[in-house]
């Protein structure tokens, strides 16, 4: 399982609703909404994954 980089939900790679690739790495999402947010600004979420930057956890209905 991997963590959806937008909302933090754990997702099974083979059951993910959506997937994006960024800088050669695959990212999996619980919803198309999370994928769209990631695709708008992937660097925002990649930085968070590495322990840098900050994003708000919003209740956007995906989880």
And the tokens for 21?
């690739």
pLDDT score at 55 = 47
Neighbours of 52 (CB within 10 A): 8
pLDDT score at 50 = 62
And the tokens for 28?
């999996």
pLDDT score at 36 = 98
pLDDT score at 8 = 95
Sign of the C-alpha dihedral computed for residues 35, 41, 6 and 14 taken in this order: positive
Q: What's the pLDDT tens digit per position in 12-55?
A: 999 999 999 999 999 999 999 999 999 999 999 998 666 654 44
Write down the H helix ranges in 1-63. 32-40, 42-49
């Amino acid at each position: 399982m991997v963590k959806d980089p937008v909302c933090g939900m754990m997702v099974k790679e083979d059951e993910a609703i959506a997937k994006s690739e960024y800088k050669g790495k695959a990212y999996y999402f619980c919803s198309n909404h999370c994928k769209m947010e990631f695709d708008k600004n992937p660097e925002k979420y990649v930085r968070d994954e590495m322990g840098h930057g900050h994003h708000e956890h919003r209740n956007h209905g995906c989880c």
